Amino acid sequence: MIGGRATVLIAAVLASALLIGFYVAEGGGSYKPTKVADPCKPRELPSPDGLQATLERVALSAADGAACELGVTREDLVVALRSEAARKKFVAAHGLTDEQVDDAVRAGLRRAADDAQRAGTISGIENFILQRAIDNAPVGFIIDRIGRP
């Protein structure tokens, strides 16, 4: 008969082997990074449930639209918009102007508002109000409001 410690050790080794086998079977043996999605192609986004989820969906759609306009990834753009220093570095690295970035962000926000209306997340009146805010409010102000509801 096997002792108590040996039984625990054997069970731990078997559990570890099972976990590793499952991980490899699910594709965990590859260390390739996930391919960055093309911001110009539509993405399936889950239906929002509540204000926070709606704002997140609008922000993701806006970031895709702006990134598509600028020819960059959504991830690079989002990082660039987090601070003034990051934005300056982004603008210089991509040979852009602040106006080009602002115009692209506004275009992305317009697209996101229209997408939200088509999805039934916001009404036509809400879209109209959002479009006026997008056209008139400073881009930084809008980004801050979307990022911090």
Residues 28 and 55 in one domain: no
Q: Per residue of the chain (149 residues), what is the pLDDT tens digit? A: 556 777 777 877 788 878 877 777 776 666 667 778 888 887 776 666 777 777 777 788 888 989 999 999 989 998 998 888 999 999 999 999 999 999 999 999 998 889 888 888 889 998 999 899 899 988 888 777 765 54
Same domain, 89 and 134: yes
pLDDT value of position 149? 44
The reply to whether 112 falls in a domain is: yes
Give the residue numbers spanning the domain of 105.
Answer: 51-147
pLDDT at 10: 82
Same domain, 130 and 80: yes
| 42 assigned to some structural domain | no
114: Cβ contacts below 8 Å, ≥ 6 apart: 127
Q: Does a structural domain hold residue 27?
A: yes
Q: How many domains does the chain have?
A: 2
Output phi, psi for 29, to 5 deg. Answer: -80, -10
Cβ contacts of 127 within 8 Å, gap of 6 or more: 113, 114, 116, 117
